[in-house]
């Protein structure tokens, strides 16, 4: 593992690291922001999962999150969105293959060779982060769009691992929308029963932990009615008695302008849980 970028930022350090991944069978990159407090004591970690077409760069260059992480003493970790490199399967279109790992463990060839983003995010990446940086045992997770789906599913599938979870414009029911149906049929096959463990709305009904969900959704998002469907999350949580704070934001679209507008509130929310 070695550092390929390092920039002074709000009293801390924004870095990008590269390492060989045994889980994914390729070389991976992730961004890590170390707040100034990390030079004095271990700090909790907020993992950020990005959306379709993104890499680790989108969040670290567009969100403005470092300012708030420095204020609250939180380490930010932003992995890439899929495996990459020679021999890694890809397909035509932005919503499948490279940049579109969907944070699942693929079971169908050729995807199953490399596309195990769930295990990478949950197991391998935190082990690397904890071994190389001054982390405490407290973790939280958040993300946007496909990464919002990933954050919700990862938290729901791993009770007790995260102290808090939030999402911006998540794909809440991928089994029922075109993005998810395309990805799941490729990665997991055509048996829809195999999709259920990777669908947040399906997982909520059987959740053993009622970790509160914080979700921000722009009302001017061009994907709200066709791909995101936040009303399904509201209805599912209401039926299951699962705590949900769904905040609909007038005028906001699907972009990083939206994320940058409210990332400070999300980091403060996670900081309360992480430090508490």
Does the annotation count 225 as an active-site position? no
Each residue's pLDDT tens digit, 133-167: 999 999 999 999 999 999 999 999 999 999 999 99
Question: From the candidates 221, 252, 266, 270, which is the catalytic residue?
Answer: 221
**Residue of 30, 64, 23 whose CA lies nearest to 50:** 30
**Can you give the residue range of the structural domain that contains 99?**
2-275
Q: What residues have CB less than 8 Å from 201, skipping those under 6 apart?
A: 172, 173, 175, 232, 233, 236
The CATH number given to whatever domain includes residue 170 is: 3.40.50.1820
The per-residue pLDDT for 28 is 98
Domain count across the chain: 1
Each residue's pLDDT tens digit, 243-265: 999 999 999 999 999 999 999 99
Does the annotation count 221 as an active-site position? yes
Instruction: Count Cβ neighbours within 10 Å for each residue of 113-131 and write b for 16 or more, e otherwise.
Output: ebbbbbebbbebbbebbee
Contact 52, 146 (CB under 8 A): yes
Does the annotation count 145 as an active-site position? yes
The per-residue pLDDT for 190 is 96
Question: From the candidates 144, 242, 254, 266, which is the catalytic residue?
Answer: 254
Each residue's pLDDT tens digit, 204-223: 988 889 999 999 999 999 99
The per-residue pLDDT for 74 is 98
The per-residue pLDDT for 276 is 86
The order of strands in the sheet holding 12-21 is 2-9, 12-21, 26-34, 75-79, 43-49, 135-143, 164-168, 213-218, 244-249
Question: From the candidates 55, 145, 164, 166, which is the catalytic residue?
Answer: 145
In this prediction, the residues of the chain whose per-residue pLDDT falls under 50 are: none
């Amino acid at each position: 593992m070695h550092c390929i970028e390092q920039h002074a930022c709000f009293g801390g350090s924004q870095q990008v690291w590269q390492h060989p991944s045994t889980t994914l069978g390729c070389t991976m990159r992730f961004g890590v922001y170390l707040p100034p407090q990390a030079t004095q004591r271990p700090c909790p970690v907020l993992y950020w999962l990005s959306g379709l077409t993104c890499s680790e760069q989108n969040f670290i260059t567009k969100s403005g999150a470092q300012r708030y992480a420095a204020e609250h003493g939180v380490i930010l970790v932003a992995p890439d969105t899929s495996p990459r490199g020679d021999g890694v399967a890809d397909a035509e279109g932005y919503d499948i293959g490279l940049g579109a790992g969907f944070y699942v463990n693929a079971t169908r060839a050729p995807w199953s060779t490399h596309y195990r983003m769930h295990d990478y995010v949950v197991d391998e990446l935190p082990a690397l982060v904890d071994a190389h940086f001054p982390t405490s045992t407290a973790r939280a997770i958040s993300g946007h769009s496909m990464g919002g789906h990933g954050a919700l599913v990862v938290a729901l599938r791993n009770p007790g691992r995260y102290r808090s979870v939030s999402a911006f414009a998540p794909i809440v029911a991928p089994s029922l929308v075109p993005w998810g149906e395309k990805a799941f049929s490729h990665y997991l096959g055509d048996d829809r029963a195999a999709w259920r463990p990777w669908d947040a709305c399906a997982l909520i009904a059987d959740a053993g932990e009622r970790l509160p969900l914080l979700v921000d959704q722009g009302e001017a998002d061009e994907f709200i009615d066709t791909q995101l469907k936040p009303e399904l999350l509201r209805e599912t949580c209401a039926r299951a008695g699962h705590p949900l704070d769904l905040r609909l934001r007038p005028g906001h679209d699907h972009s990083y302008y939206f994320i940058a507008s409210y990332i400070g509130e999300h980091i403060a929310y996670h900081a309360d849980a992480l430090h508490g």
